[in-house]
Structure 1
Amino acid sequence: MENEKYQLKINNESGRIDKVLAVAYPSFTRSQIQSWLKSGHIQVNGKNSKANYKVLPGDIITLIEPDEETIEIQAENIPLMVVYEDEALAVINKPAGMVVHPSKVQSTGTLVNGLLFHMNQLSEGSDPTRPGIVHRIDKDTSGLLVIAKTNDVHEDLAKQFLNHTTKRTYVALVHGEVEHEEGTIDVPIDRMPNNRIKRVVNREGKPAVTHFTRLEQYNGYTLLQLELETGRTHQIRVHMDYIHHPVVGDPMYGTRNDHSKYGQYLHAQTLGFVHPITKEELTFQAPLPNYFETKLEELRQFD
């Protein structure tokens, strides 16, 4: 796999190259950028740049992200909510605040660290940091994930997700009073330029389809059930922001002053798939977390 390559043309920006790049690419830290300048991974007009170089209008800055360092993954005795388990797979109800798999930013306290402790066997996954992980949900999204224990089971489940034959429904509390009882959001999603993490609606992006049904409405808020037809990164969060009803508590796509210690009020409630071994159609449901239910009760009182 080729290293990620970024190019930036300087227009009105000014100052040291490390500061300019830190603003242009907020997902990289200043220390990362300074390290890459020293290692020759950042060039200006085709030549390696010094860390104290001050950019000029018309400069073309090229940044080639280095290979990731090997991450040592340790098994940790982290309590897991196991909804279902057999010799082939497991279904986990992940709490909000838990990262699914380790990375350079966070190598401990993830779901994978807990799985390595509690499960005797896991599939190899898509890379060494993701054993057993067939699909993922965001750190601050709670709810259901299926975990594969063997490579054959992993491959079968991955095909079901790829072919959109799985059933995934979410519950989200969103800002504003959604006018329609049900609807479909069908707009493509792409990476935001200069930001590896954030996604945006873009005609050139990948197809993304979200169906929604209104469950309850309050003064200034709406509770929605959402069904994914596709599974793009941050899909629900991006689509809700696109229709001007961002998920409550969303730190990335919500309103500027909308903060919650629980993150976004988004819960992966239902997960359905065909068992790769028994061929039985399985469907699992996870109740809303207590803090989510408490929030709804508060809104009902003021409705």
Structure 2
Amino acid sequence: MYRKVDKTDRVFIRLENQLLNRVSFYHQRKIGQAIVENNFIRYQFDTQTSEKVEETRKWRQDLPDELPPVIDQFMAEANVEGEVLSTRLVYISPESKIFKIRPLPQNPCWIIRTLDDTARKVHIIDAVTGEPLGYGLPAPYEGFSMHGPDHPPDCDDSAPLWYDHAQNAHNWFETMGYDTIRDGSALGSVVQSHIQSDSTVMFYELDHGGATSFKNRCDDDIYPGFKTMPPWGLPLSEVAWDLPAQETGHLNMSSEGKGYPRIPLPIPMARPTLPTPIAPMMVEIVCCTGETVILSFPETMCPR
């Protein structure tokens, strides 16, 4: 379908959204083996008429056609401490929200993610000179699942409701690879610590509440004052973690569809856009690439 508008030999990933009757074709720009951050071409077509409905193209003009000689990946990894989790070769975008290096590196960079006893780090190394340039913004890696007590006079912090739903979310977050805590009748300070944490990304909450608050404990309610900017200092619309597809997602789920899906807190990464209630284990997300897709959990469909 996209060959009607793109006559090149570029390779595209096909993604279909059956709810919107849209099919997308996505091409990630590369120079040699180096990914060009935030550079891509995307075509969207109506699946019923085959007509093109949208075209998005981000393509820098200040980059070479060929990759310059770079140091070996293992040589770059030998210069960092901690366990190496992943390594990629990247041309950093001048609009990058994750690699805020100034002046902007003109050479491709080795992006090396590591884990040590205390923290995860994102090392940025000039792939041509081997010079360490600094650090990127590490992606969150933990989950939190909370459920609260009943209304007074039956309120009892020691017997929170909806255990099955919160445990179900906990189990799925763990399956996705996030170290997750389930907390019944969580203290406000604990909730706040996860909202303001730079490591928590998956958040599930099921409590009684109203339009402006929810009850986490019998004598405590969470109000919008907690719903603040994430600790990275970026508007949520600008938070787009540079992650592989299998690490990208913010799911609001319930046990076999029997819960009351809600996302009252501003947790970054993917932005669910379907109205609640969401179909069990299915959510529409905006991937880190900007692609809007349907995710049928645990299948992942974001382009890398």
TM-score (norm 2): 0.28
TM-score (norm 1): 0.29
Structure showing the higher strand proportion among its residues = 2
